[in-house]
Each structure stands twice: as structure tokens, then as C-alpha cells.
């Protein structure tokens, strides 16, 4: 049952991801992205990582995509933007990326199928407790670095956004 659930969620994820990159309207694309993220959350849950699944929903689907939507709405793209997207997305543009992606898929597939050993995920749950212990134990340095990275991003985002905000205020 778990196996089929996995492939249903995976299929939805693939389809909605494909839809996300082909939409003309950015808001629609973001909605499809949310669907992909939710499917991935389901897969996380199946794999026995409920904490990751929760974070996927709360932070990815919740915070990050909302931030995207916020910017899209602030830029106020409208109907003209959709038209322009349609002009940009010509059929010819697909050829090289598709070949490339196919080649990469084949290569990775060959690389994956090389192992004789049958690896099966049993789905034992690894809960937030273990994650937290691991995170603040051996990975504490990584946490510190992530904190620094987030601080840098905070400063950077503030700096980039500030002038825009000030100009707005002047107007």
C-alpha cells in the first residue's frame, strides 16, 4: 500500500512540477509548485521522516512560496506579462534542454542500476527527537554556519530592498 501511495504522490509531484515550469502566469505556476511541495511532504511522511514533512509544508509551502507570491503580486505583472511569456516560450527553445535532460537521466539511470544489491526502505520512523539530537550534536557547526548564512541573507535582503522602499516613500 505504501509503495502505491509513494508512486501516486510522486506522479502528482512530477506532473505538477512540469506544469509549474510551463505556466504562463506566475501565480498559477506557484500554485503548482505548492502542489509539488505537498506531494514531496507526503513522500517524506511515507519514508518515515514526519518532522521533515512538517517543515516542508510549513516553511516551503508556507513561507517561501508565499514570499514568492508576495513579490509577484507586488510587481503586478498582469495580462501583458502573460502575453510576453507566450512569446518567449517558443517550441524551438525546448530542444537542447530536453536532449540534455534526457542524456542526464540516462547517465544517472545507468549509474543507479549499476549496484547489484537490492536496497529497500523499510520506513522506520526517525522522529524529531533524533533529528534534534543529531542537529545540535555532531552538526552543531553546520547550525552555526546556517545561522551566519541567514544573517548574511537578512542583511543582503535589507540592503537590496531598502532603496526600493525609500524611493516608494518619496513618491
Of residues 23 through 62, those in contact with another protein by CB under 8 A are 26, 29-30, 33, 36-37, 40, 43-52, 55-56, 59-60
Q: Find the helix packing angle between 2-22 and 26-46, rounded to 10°.
A: 160
Q: Are 81 and 157 in contact (CB under 8 A)?
A: no
Over the window 126 to 155, marking each residue x when it contacts another protein by CB under 8 A and - when it does not, the resulting string is x---xx-xxx---x--x---x--xx-xxx-
**CB under 8 Å to 100, separation ≥6 — which residues?**
none
153 with 67: CB under 8 angstroms?
A: no
Tell me the site size for another protein, rule CB under 8 A. 94
Site string for another protein, 84-123 (x = CB under 8 A): -x--xx---xx-xxx-xx-xxx-xxxxxxxx---xxxxxx
Nearer to another protein, 163 or 169 (CB): 163
Amino acid at each position: 500500500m505504501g509503495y502505491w501511495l509513494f508512486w501516486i504522490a510522486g506522479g502528482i509531484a512530477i506532473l505538477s512540477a512540469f506544469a509549474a515550469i510551463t505556466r504562463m502566469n506566475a501565480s498559477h505556476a506557484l500554485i503548482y509548485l505548492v502542489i509539488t511541495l505537498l506531494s514531496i511532504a507526503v513522500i517524506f511522511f511515507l519514508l518515515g521522516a514526519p518532522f521533515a514533512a512538517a517543515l516542508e509544508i510549513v516553511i516551503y509551502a508556507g513561507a517561501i512560496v508565499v514570499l514568492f507570491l508576495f513579490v509577484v503580486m507586488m510587481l503586478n505583472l498582469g495580462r501583458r506579462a502573460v502575453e510576453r511569456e507566450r512569446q518567449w516560450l517558443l517550441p524551438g527553445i525546448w530542444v537542447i534542454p530536453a536532449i540534455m535532460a534526457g542524456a542526464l537521466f540516462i547517465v544517472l539511470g545507468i549509474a543507479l542500476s549499476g549496484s547489484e544489491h537490492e536496497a529497500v526502505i523499510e520506513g522506520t520512523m526517525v522522529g524529531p527527537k533524533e533529528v534534534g539530537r543529531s542537529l545540535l550534536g555532531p552538526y552543531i557547526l553546520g547550525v552555526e554556519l546556517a545561522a551566519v548564512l541567514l544573517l548574511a541573507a537578512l542583511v543582503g535582503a535589507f540592503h537590496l530592498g531598502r532603496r526600493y522602499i525609500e524611493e516608494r516613500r518619496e513618491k
